[in-house]
Chains A and B, each alone.
Chain A
Amino acid sequence: MLAAAERKRLQDKARAIREEIVKVTYACGGSHIGGAMSQTDVLVALYYKYMRIDPARPDWEDRDRFVLSKGHGGVGHAVVLADKGYFERKLLDDFNKTGSPFGMHLDRLKVRGVDASTGSLGHGFGISIGMAMGARLTGRQFRVYCVVGDGECHEGSVWESAMAAGHFKPTNLTVFVDRNRFCLDGPTEEVMPLDPLDGKFESFGWRVLSIDGHDFDAICGAIETAHAETARPVVVIANTVKGKGVDFMENQTAWHYGGLDDRMKARALESIARS
């Protein structure tokens, strides 16, 4: 159980991050806002409570690594990195605009604080395994966190990676599946069923924790359980709501990607403030 003040600190931060996602999405004309909203609480717990990082030294060798395998959530990741101080917030005024270092999918070579470029699905998972194995080979103590989308789990390479991690057992790696139950075309279970997702990972040799991905007590508890695990890699299936926090976006297929006009922006911010 988190102390009440700690829980509130994380909840307030998540609310602020979601407001920023709305503002950046409004400014840039459109983003993958639904999945950016669903992943936010996991990112907040990692970046504001657990990850050993130093925004002044993005190349610090012993920093914890973070790989957003669902690279289309980049708008949410960029907002977190700006808030942490990796770069100035005003750079996000030009997010995904011509000439900006920010594409919709973040590039390690262009954006400070990004540990792996992603954007095509099913790659970041394997990259994060390589990083975790690299820590082991070089005797460094950092941890690697990776967030995979549930629709991303339709990619065969995800299961190649799951199999390899089940075999090599990088226990310094924690993978989250942002299980918001929607992919671009509709509900995952209608497009291409994934359930039982926990059973799939278990059969590939993982320890599986299934949690409410918007409950900070559950998220923090899962992270601490993962830290204590020494035998198997841990996957946290974070059951989330696509578009979380904005009433008219929640669980709506159409809000996988979208833009906001003035009225929608105001309504979205009001909804987040109430959440």
Chain B
Amino acid sequence: MLVLGADLGNSTEIDAFRDRFPDRFFNFGAAEQNEVDVAAGLALEGEVPFVHSFGVFLTRRAYEQVIVQVAMHGANVKLVGMIPGLTSRLGPTHQAIEDLSLMRAIPGMTVIDPADATEIEQVVPAIAAWRGPVYTRMMRREVRRVLDPATYRFEVGRAVRLRTGRDVALACSGLMLEPALAAAADLAARGVEADVIHCPTLKPLDEAAILDAAGRCGAVVTAENHLVTGGLGSAVAELAGERLAVPVERVGIRDTFAVPGSPEYLFARYGLTAEAICAAAVRAISRKAR
């Protein structure tokens, strides 16, 4: 593999790779369009380039390069978008809140939103072994560990049921895993049993797992660190709309750019919380056909 950077060595935490494998590391400066084009050329020559920048820059600025040169070629490029959703403190220019939507819209693109340190450790080798273009979000600095590395196994395209219920299915991706688990515990205290379906791969979506949970529970809530349009909520609602008549409620950012602020403040302000998931679960259950 190769690592390509765009003048964000510290910020994307690729400096350790640079220092250890200087011959496999290339810094393109803040020029993401060319970074992605070169990556496609390298991939066509058999290399496996991991292309790093902030998620906003890879998906917004280099979108056409990603579509035309990476996706249309089916080039084996791994796009690594750092600082997902509302985890950036730097305001809306740096908050990737529509990156999953943009990437999911591209034919043939695999899209991943990892949840925690355990998952990141497993996503990297998994996508290196996966043939074809991948976009994955990536987190930096101290990343919490929620999933047990002794038992958890990430696979591209597989959702994992972390809790089994019967009243409502909570489908979550990325950093919404912890709030979803907390919401399931809160709901259980009120006598509501929730499935928790962790969906790190948005595309290809694990349709069988979603349909199974939705069918058993009869109502679905999605939760994502992203706009409710185009990401996990849309993917699940599209599937449910085509295949099952079950109510779907989506938790996420609603058609707005976010203000600058700490992740804790922003997650609360834009409703990315266990409380919001519980409220959505109650709504979804109340909408079940009687």
Q: Which of B26, B64, B68, B74 has the most CB of A within 10 A?
A: B68
Chain B 45-69 per-residue mask, 1 if CB under 8 angstroms from chain A, else 0: 1110000000000000000110011
Query: What separation, in Å, do the CA atoms of A117 and B70 have in the docked complex?
Result: 10
A156 at the interface (CB under 8 A from B): yes
Q: Are A134 and B44 in contact (CB under 8 A)?
A: yes
Which residue of chain A lies nearest to B27 when distances are taken between CB atoms in the complex? A167
The smallest C-beta distance from A48 to any residue of chain B, in angstroms, reads 25
How far does the alpha carbon of A109 sit from the alpha carbon of B75 in the complex, in Å?
Answer: 11
Q: Which residues of A contact B73 (CB under 8 A)?
A: 108-109, 116-117
Quick one: which of A108, A126, A137, A156 contacts B37, CB cutoff 8 A? A126
Interface positions of B from 69 to 88, Cβ below 8 Å from A: 69, 72-74
Give chain B nearest CB distance to A208 CB in angstroms. 20
Q: Chain B's interface: helix, strand, loop or mixed, by majority?
A: helix
Is A243 close to B, CB under 8 A?
Answer: no
Whether the Cβ atoms of B69 and A123 lie closer than 8 Å is yes
- Whether a CB of chain B sits under 8 angstroms from the CB of A141 is no
> Are B37 and A127 interface neighbours, CB within 8 A?
yes
Complex Cα distance, B65 from A12, in Å, reads 38
> Do residues A164 and B31 form an inter-chain contact, with CB atoms below 8 A?
yes
Kindly state the separation between the CA atoms of A122 and B47 in the bound complex, as whole angstroms: 22
Cα(A131)–Cα(B44), bound, Å = 7
B262 an interface residue at 8 Å Cβ cutoff?
A: no
> What are 28 residue pairs bridging A and B, where the CB atoms are less than 8 Å apart in the complex?
A108-B73, A109-B73, A109-B74, A116-B41, A122-B33, A123-B65, A124-B37, A126-B38, A126-B41, A127-B40, A127-B41, A129-B34, A129-B41, A130-B37, A130-B38, A130-B39, A130-B42, A130-B44, A131-B44, A133-B41, A133-B42, A134-B41, A134-B45, A160-B33, A161-B34, A163-B34, A164-B28, A164-B38
B144 to chain A, nearest CB (A): 36
Q: How far is the CB of A182 from chain B (nearest CB, A)?
A: 24
Contact partner of B47 among A123, A134, A161, A164, CB < 8 A?
A134
Bound-state Cα–Cα, A128 to B64, Å: 17
* A-B pairs under 8 A by CB, number: 100
A120 on the B face (CB < 8 A): yes
Which A residues, 117 to 169, have Cβ-Cβ distances below 8 Å to chain B?
117, 119-120, 122-135, 137-138, 156-157, 160-161, 163-164, 168
- Chain B: CB-nearest residue to A67: B41
Instruction: Tell me the interface secondary structure of chain A in the complex.
Output: helix
CA of A266 to CA of B2 in the docked complex: distance in angstroms? 54
The size of the chain B interface, using a CB distance under 8 A, is 27
For window 1-37 of B, CB contacts with A under 8 Å fall at 2, 23, 26, 28-29, 31, 33-34, 36-37
Q: When the two chains form their complex, are residues A156 and B38 in contact, meaning their CB atoms are under 8 A apart?
A: no
Output the residue of A115, A123, A129, A156 with the most chain B CB within 10 A: A123
CA distance A21 to B34 in the complex (A): 32
CB within 8 Å for A157 and B33 given contacts A117-B68, A130-B39, A133-B38 = yes
CB distance from B179 to the nearest CB of A (A): 40
**Bound complex: CA A127 to CA B41 (Å):** 4
Question: Which residue in B34, B39, B40, B41 is a CB contact (below 8 Å) of A157?
Answer: B34
| 9 tightest Cβ-Cβ pairs between the two chains A and B | A130-B41, A126-B37, A134-B45, A160-B34, A160-B31, A130-B38, A127-B41, A157-B33, A130-B42
**Contact A127/B44 with A109-B74, A157-B37 known, Cβ cut-off 8 Å:** yes
A45 to B: closest C-beta gap in Å: 23
Nearest residue in B to A131 (C-beta to C-beta)?
B41
Contacts of B38 in A (CB 8 A): 126-127, 129-130, 133, 161, 164
> 9 new A-B pairs (CB below 8 Å) besides A161-B38, A164-B29, A164-B38?
A108-B73, A109-B74, A117-B69, A129-B37, A130-B39, A137-B2, A138-B47, A164-B28, A164-B31
Decide if B68 touches A119 in the complex (CB within 8 Å).
yes
Q: Of A108, A116, A126, A137, which is in contact with the most chain B CB atoms at under 10 Å from its CB? A: A126
A101 CB → nearest B CB, Å: 14
Q: How far is the CA of A138 from the CA of B46 in the complex (A)?
A: 9
